[in-house]
Structure 1
Amino acid sequence: MRDRFGYIAIFFSFLLLNSCQDLDKTEKPPNLISEAKMVDILTELALIQSARNYNKFKLEQTGIHTETYLYEKFNIDSLQLKENIQYYSSQYLTYDRIYDSVHNRIQRIKDKADARQLIERKMQDSLDSIKSDSLKIDRDSLQSKRDSISGIKTKDSLTLPPTLRKLDSMDRGN
């Protein structure tokens, strides 16, 4: 019984090892795109996909056809791109290096955008603060003018001495 189990295990091991050796390697495409250019292409492709996912309608309004844009920008065609992606995906270490570069580049773009947004937010906060301060100053100056105006008494509200009251009533025709 034990020998039988050993033979079965050896048989399946042989099948497993034999099946792994028949993997077809993807051949290098005739128009191989360099790793650096693949990083550029895949970064641009990721940005296009993000823009499409964020607001497809607005992207369509710009009139940019994303499929042809990518091909024209990098002077490639769809078949060349497909063949190169297949080739690089069969080259695990190279493919991993390309995607790490794409990830790092997108992260740098995101960090720059976040920094720009933070600066814009700080500028808006400063403008709001200046507006608020100027409105407060205007309110304070208006209040002080109001106080100074209300402090001025009119001639009618003044208490005149009796001799001047007589003169004042004569001027008025009383």
Structure 2
Amino acid sequence: MFKKFILLFSISVTFVACQDIEKSEKPENLIPEEKMVDVITEISLLQSARNFNKRIFENTGIEGQEYVFEKYNIDSLQFKRSNDYYADNYEIYQRIYDSVKHGFERMKVKLDTLQKQEQRLKDSIAEAKRDSLGKVKDSLNPEEEREIEEISDSIINEKDSLDRLVNDSLPEPMSRN
């Protein structure tokens, strides 16, 4: 009988304890959803970079979250309160993380495209260098032969343009894509 009482008592206490979970109140300085997507995306990217090669990341001197907070003009308390509020509202939080996930997928497609373009350029340069005759046929005009140097120069210029494009552009915030 005593065992049944203990079991019933523990179930009752558990049930009552779970009923009084406090939800976070909406903070006065709540970070908007779109901005929260950008902040979480950048924090995730910085954490991934740190986890990928911690030593190199630490040598950059970048403090991950502090950098993001400064960039978006927020502070850690504002982020925590906003994150807690959104976490208590599952539908909104799910929407935020779905947006982050889709943003990463778009970034991956862009990076894959850039990698394919770079590989095509490398292959073109290698093919031009392999030609032992010193001349290659123009694929658009087979009767016309051009010097390898001329082709290599145009390929290298194309590669430089691609490199500048990649190096000059940082990932845009997800709300702008």
For normalisation by structure 1, the TM-score amounts to: 0.66
Give the number of the structure whose residues are more often helix, by fraction. Answer: 1
Counterparts of 1:89-100 in structure 2, within 5 Å, are 89-100=87-98
Which residue is 2:145 aligned to?
Answer: none
Q: Which amino acid aligns with 2:127?
A: S
Higher Cα Rg, which structure: 1
The answer as to whether partners of 2:43 and 2:65 remain within 8 angstroms in 1 is no
Report the Cα offset of residue 16 of structure 1.
Answer: 6.5
Listed as ranges, the gaps of 5+ residues in structure 1 are 139-174
Counterparts of 1:14 and 1:61 in 2: how far apart (Å)? Answer: 55
* Mapping of residues 16-55 of structure 1, within 5 Å: 18-55=16-53
Alpha-carbon offset, residue 21 of structure 1: 2.6
- Within 2, Cα distance between the matches of 1:58 and 1:33? 31
Structure 2 residue identity aligned to 1:93: E
Q: How many residues align?
A: 134
Q: Quick one: distance in 1 between partners of 2:57 and 2:23?
A: 39
5+ long unaligned stretches in structure 2: 135-177
**TM-score when scaled to structure 2?**
0.65
Change (3 A) 1:56 1:14: closer
| Cα distance in 2 for residues equivalent to 1:125 and 1:92 | 49
Amino acid at match of 1:92: Y
Q: Percent identity?
A: 47
CA deviations 1:104-128 (Å, max 9, x no partner) are 0011111101110111011101110
